[in-house]
A = this chain, B = another copy of it.
Amino acid sequence: MSENKFMRMAIELSKESVARGGGPFGAVIVRNGEVVASGSNSVTLLNDPTAHAEVSAIRAACQVVGSFDLKGCEIYSSCEPCPMCLSAIYWAGIERIYYANTRDDAAAIGFDDDFIYDQIPLAPAERTIPSLPLMRTEGLEAFHLWVHKTDKVEY
């Protein structure tokens, strides 16, 4: 079953990542039954808190296909994506997610996935990070420029 083959690759990446000093997460992006790109968690290796396995795989896959749109792709992740990675999957237009470990499994070994999932739906004022509105009138000027730009690349 090819789903198992691709998930086995993602899991293998997650184990290699631990050996290399990265976090225990791996991901593989597949289109039409072929691997497009893969990634593993390199947060501490690259000093990049966004370098989760899925984000890394998405960035690599987009370079391979020469587009910011991964329509028709599936992602195999060794762990249920955190909210950052899940959102990145939406932005990339990936159409299906397979995952092995769950966000509860990740929380049990000290990763904040579950905590952040609980924070996202709260109103800004209820979150642990204070979030303050400021200068919306001036901010909207860029949106007006965008709306009236005739040659923009939308996404």
Contacts and interface: CB of A to CB of B under 8 A. Distances in A.
A139 B78 CA distance: 6
B97 A129 contact: yes
Interface string A1-17: 00110011001001101
A15 B141 contact: yes
Q: Which of A63, A87, A133, A155 has the most CB of B within 10 A?
A: A87
Interface residues of A, number: 91
26 contacts: A7-B135, A18-B142, A18-B145, A19-B145, A24-B142, A46-B68, A49-B58, A49-B93, A49-B155, A50-B58, A50-B59, A50-B92, A78-B139, A80-B133, A87-B116, A90-B115, A98-B131, A98-B133, A99-B133, A100-B140, A101-B136, A101-B142, A101-B143, A102-B136, A109-B146, A117-B121
